[in-house]
Amino acid sequence: MKIIKVLLATSLLVLSGCGTLVQGENSSSVEEAYIVALDELMKTDEALNHGQKFIAINMENFKLNEEKQQKIVNYFSNQYNTKVKIATLEELKEQGHFDEETMSLDGVLLRFEEIDQKFSNKYVFKGHKFKSGLGAIWLTIEVKNNGEEWAVTESRMDAIS
């Protein structure tokens, strides 16, 4: 009988511990996971950021509503003190931001090709920062919520041009 009580008490402690993680995750919004991963792209190979007139973020693969997307735009606008656009490379070309002669943008484009939610508190993003055909990086970025905030737990450069 004592063994059953001990097992029951242990089970309750383990289950209540798991609940704490989920509660902490809810205190930090999901768009913050995207912000942390996008910011990792911006901070990696900062030479690509030189002379940028804007930051463009391709949000085609984002599973976020407009309000959450706008929070991302506001963060990057304030953090980097520059204009932020939601756009694809094709849209940037149409807007005249791509120089065909130098094959480069007058800003940087951030894009995630894959967004994989591993758990409620963990995402893996595969994406790139593009400045030109000879100025781009591809990263795999893992972010995790520690109960209070999202943070990069792993960042790996997959390719560079």
Among candidates 115, 119, 142, which has minimal Cα distance to 57? Answer: 115
pTM of the model: 0.80
Give residue 28's pLDDT.
Answer: 62
- Whether residue 143 contacts residue 153, with contact meaning beta carbons closer than 8 Å, is answered with yes
Please report, rounded to a whole number, the percentage of residues in the chain having pLDDT higher than 90.
Answer: 76
Write out pLDDT tens, residues 7-44: 333 333 232 232 222 223 343 689 999 999 999 999 99
Give residue 68's pLDDT.
Answer: 96
Phi first, then psi: give them for residue 81, nearest 5 degrees.
Answer: 50, 50
Write out pLDDT tens, residues 50-92: 989 999 999 999 989 999 999 999 999 999 999 999 999 999 9
**96-111 exposure pattern, b = at least 16 Cβ within 10 A, e = fewer:** ebbeeeeebbebbbbb
CA atoms within 13 A on the CB side of 119: 11
Q: How far apart are the first and last CA of the chain?
A: 66
Token reading at 65 = 């509503």
E strand residue ranges, the chain: 54-58, 83-86, 98-99, 104-119, 122-132, 135-145, 150-160
- Whether residue 76 contacts residue 55, with contact meaning beta carbons closer than 8 Å, is answered with yes
What is the rounded average pLDDT of the residues 46-52? 91
